[in-house]
Structure 1
Amino acid sequence: MTAPRLLVLQPSQSDPLAKLGEWLEAEGVELHLVPLKEEPAPASLDGYQGVICLGGEMGALDDLEHPWLADARRLLSSAVSQSLPTLAICLGAQLLAVATGGQVRRGPQGPEVGVLLVAKRDAAGMDPLFADLPFTPDVLQFHSDEVHVLPPSAEHLAASPKYPNQAFRVGSSAYGLQFHIETTPEIVLNWAAKDPESAACARPTDFDLDFLAEAHRDFEEVWQPFVARFAKLVRGELSPAGCLGTQLPLV
């Protein structure tokens, strides 16, 4: 049986696949990584069974400095229209939102940074990827922009007190996560060193190496099974979310 192939869009070298890549490869998924600053994005999604879009330090609409952002949005929009399983993280989630009719802005409450909790929304209980998550899973936050308005018909799956649109699904199988699940302690420490102003918004202990190592063990316990479910979605072994719309009473 041929391994399913995922297109991985990487906007920044500072946010690699890291643990996410390890988890997907352990599930038998083939990964085609495209560093968008260095390689042109594919013209289409032919030959791919899913899409990953990672994070980066740029904004979702910074096309003047990063013209390839338009290609990322085009491919994410195409993935949604083709019902391809898609996982978009941080900047990726913002690109997915904009590509499908949502809005992104600079977060009015300042950066959201550190090891924090998000809370599942009611719709998560019926979602094939989110249903089995703990009610308040730990995540790694490091962003200054927010998804201000979700795309029309998007399902809201998780929130935080500071910025409510933390996770959402567009269509049957395209997921946006404002937070990070792919990091290692070393990646997080590198971000803090490069952006000390944002890092200062977190608790000082959040950048202690031992604390980060323990936090990442907790992340793995929760998010590796989540990624395994995403791989099942890619392989066609897990049914995507049902059609949205009003449920009529049976008579």
Structure 2
Amino acid sequence: MKPTVLVVQHEDNCPTGWFGDWLTAAGLELDVLEAHRGRALPASLGDHAGLLVLGGEMGANDDSTTRWLAPTRALIATVAAGGDPFLGICLGHQLAAVALGGRVEPNPHGHGQGLTAFGPTPAAASDPLLSVIPAGAIAVQWNNDVVTALPAGATLLATSPDGTVQAARFGPRAWGVQFHPEATPANFRSWTTDKPSAAAPRADGIDIFAVADAVEAARHELRRAWEPLARRWARVVTQSARP
């Protein structure tokens, strides 16, 4: 029987993307919980072998407008405390930081710029997950908020070029990444050029059409860079699920 991962999805245009394909190819089953469509969050993993929390346009503290964020944070805290495998992507990473006592705020350096170099810290060299990713690998970052204070006991594993938290380990088997290893070029366009507001110039000056074209051009490089991360996390999940 294949280990099954519970996946919390927040929006239709923020699916598992490439990451889901890589996880299933590595031998995992995915149980996608579409929280935005009303599916209730469980209090614990139950029979699931791990938890993956995806990104979304809402903020990690937007409880008044996004009712499932509080139970998502509670589930993350339970999973991390129990030593079960967890991975948070973008919003999922920020939710983990808040759930465990850290802080998330708007990035004082401005909005994420799209293709961004991975900047591992020395701690990443021995990390069970991030050690597989070389310094300078390009990632997709598209976010307003960042983790401005890590929870007590967390380990900083990577920083973005602007110095903000890019990846962290929150526990023995719990990680968060600010970037989007799952994002296909089509996913990225759904966040940018495919929006009704795309024709209007952005206040921050970002040319979303140029950025989307750059993400498209980097398709193969992105896949080469981030499939190993998915496979390494799948190994963590599989090993933890063994009796």
- TM-score > 0.5 by shorter chain: yes
Match of 2:225 in 1: 222
Structure 2 vs 1, CA of residues 190 and 163 (structure 1 numbering), >3 Å: closer, same or farther? Answer: farther
Structure 2 vs 1, CA of residues 199 and 223 (structure 1 numbering), >3 Å: closer, same or farther? Answer: farther
Query: Separation in 2 of the partners of 1:11 and 1:114?
Result: 20
Shift of 1:221: 0.7
Map 1:89-168 to 2 at 5 A.
89-168=89-168
Match of 2:6 in 1: 7
SS at match of 2:156: strand
- Bigger drift between 36-45 and 82-91 goes to 36-45
Give the aligned CA root-mean-square deviation in angstroms.
Answer: 1.8
Q: TM-score, normalised by structure 1?
A: 0.89
SS at match of 1:115: strand
Q: Alignment partner for residue 215 of structure 2, among 192, 212, 217?
A: 212
Can you list the C-alpha shifts for 1:41-71, whole angstroms capped at 9, x where unaligned? 1232110110000000000010011111001
Residue segments in structure 1 that go unaligned for 5+ positions in a row: 239-251
Map 1:1-251 to 2 at 5 A.
2-38=1-37, 39-193=39-193, 194=195, 196=198, 197=202, 200-201=205-206, 205-208=210-213, 211-236=214-239
Shift of 1:143: 0.2
SS at match of 2:206: coil
Query: Separation in 2 of the partners of 1:237 and 1:83?
Result: 9
Structure 1 counterpart of 2:219, which letter?
H
SS at match of 2:113: strand
SS at match of 1:175: strand
Structure 2 vs 1, CA of residues 198 and 90 (structure 1 numbering), >3 Å: closer, same or farther? Answer: farther
Shift of 1:147: 0.4
Shift of 1:203: 7.3
Shift of 1:11: 1.2
Contact 1:111–1:198 (8 Å) recurs in 2:
no
Q: Give the paired residue count.
A: 235
SS at match of 2:36: coil
SS at match of 1:51: strand
Residue segments in structure 2 that go unaligned for 5+ positions in a row: none
Shift of 1:198: 7.6
Q: TM-score, normalised by structure 2?
A: 0.91
Structure 2 counterpart of 1:226, which letter?
L
Query: Separation in 2 of the partners of 1:198 and 1:140?
Result: 21
Contact 2:107–2:146 (8 Å) recurs in 1:
yes
SS at match of 2:165: coil
Among all aligned residue pairs of Structure 1 and Structure 2, give the percentage whose two residues are the same amino acid: 36
- Bigger drift between 60-69 and 154-163 goes to 154-163
Query: Separation in 2 of the partners of 1:170 and 1:87?
Result: 10
Contact 1:167–1:177 (8 Å) recurs in 2:
yes
- Bigger drift between 129-138 and 171-180 goes to 129-138
Shift of 1:13: 1.3
Contact 2:85–2:240 (8 Å) recurs in 1:
no
Query: Separation in 1 of the partners of 2:161 and 2:18?
Result: 27
Shift of 1:237: 7.4
